[in-house]
Homo-oligomer: A and B are copies of this chain.
Amino acid sequence: MPENAWNDLKHNERDARRRLILDAARDLFAEKDFKSVTVREIAKSAGVSIGTIYNYYDNITELFLDVFLTNAEQITHLIRQEYQTAPPSLPRLCDLYVTFLNDNMTFYQMMGHFMLGGELPPAATDRLNRVMRSLMDRIDDIVKASGISEPARHISHALFSALNGIMISYAGYPGRTAPEIKAHTLRLAGVVADVFHSGLKNN
């Protein structure tokens, strides 16, 4: 079926180009506050023209959102994998998640942006909610499997919150190098895991 093959090729090409832009944007975001990255910079960095970016995204917010949601899907996938391939472990979950946040600070910044102030078109809000709920579900899986008696959803929320909070509180610690920050945040992730583990056993 040459028709299909051709379509696939086209589709692949389009996807590849989109990925090119996506990755360029992500790299740029890693260097500075993502809100200060411009369309021009992304275009230059991706090696395409400004117009091309608008060929793939209606506006820059959509691109930002795509970077964010791609990241969210990534960590969601990682947690699902962990759940499926190893006995459930709060410490490992915490380590996994905080490691990811350290390696993807943009994701973290964007979570703050989109979940706090960001005016989003309704369609985008829907997509955002769906993806975030899926992430939360995967965390829930592990929390539940850790033998918790309480209504698990609240615990999952609290744990998710605590891990996110580690970053907002320490990720930007001035005068610290990236490895130092990673070390400190992972240590705190361990403390959180411990506290939740022993705190929940005894309820």
Minimum C-beta distance from A131 to chain B (A): 13
Given A115-B168, A154-B187, 7 more A-B residue pairs with CB atoms under 8 Å apart are A33-B118, A116-B171, A118-B172, A128-B174, A162-B162, A168-B168, A196-B199
The reply to whether the CB of A68 lies closer than 8 angstroms to some CB of chain B is: no
Q: Which of B120, B175, B191 contacts A155 (CB 8 A)?
A: B191
The reply to whether the CB of A83 lies closer than 8 angstroms to some CB of chain B is: no
Chain B contacts for A169, CB-based, 8 A: 115, 157, 160-161, 164
Minimum C-beta distance from A72 to chain B (A): 13
The reply to whether the CB of A129 lies closer than 8 angstroms to some CB of chain B is: yes
Chain B contacts for A198, CB-based, 8 A: 198-199, 202-203
* Nearest residue, chain B, Cβ from A109: B116
The reply to whether the CB of A41 lies closer than 8 angstroms to some CB of chain B is: no
The reply to whether the CB of A2 lies closer than 8 angstroms to some CB of chain B is: no
The reply to whether the CB of A134 lies closer than 8 angstroms to some CB of chain B is: no
The reply to whether the CB of A15 lies closer than 8 angstroms to some CB of chain B is: no
* Nearest residue, chain B, Cβ from A175: B125
Q: Could you list some 18 contacts between A and B, CB below 8 A?
A: A33-B118, A34-B117, A109-B117, A112-B116, A115-B172, A116-B171, A154-B187, A161-B165, A161-B167, A161-B168, A162-B162, A162-B165, A162-B192, A163-B165, A164-B169, A168-B168, A194-B199, A195-B199
Are B120 and A174 within 8 A (Cβ)? yes
* Nearest residue, chain B, Cβ from A163: B165
Identify the interface centre among A116, A161, A196: most chain B CB within 10 Å of its CB. Answer: A161
Q: Nearest 9 CB-CB pairs, A to B?
A: A165-B165, A199-B199, A33-B117, A162-B162, A195-B199, A161-B165, A164-B165, A115-B172, A161-B166
Expressed in whole angstroms, the Cα–Cα distance for A80 and B148 within the complex equals 35
Expressed in whole angstroms, the Cα–Cα distance for A35 and B155 within the complex equals 33
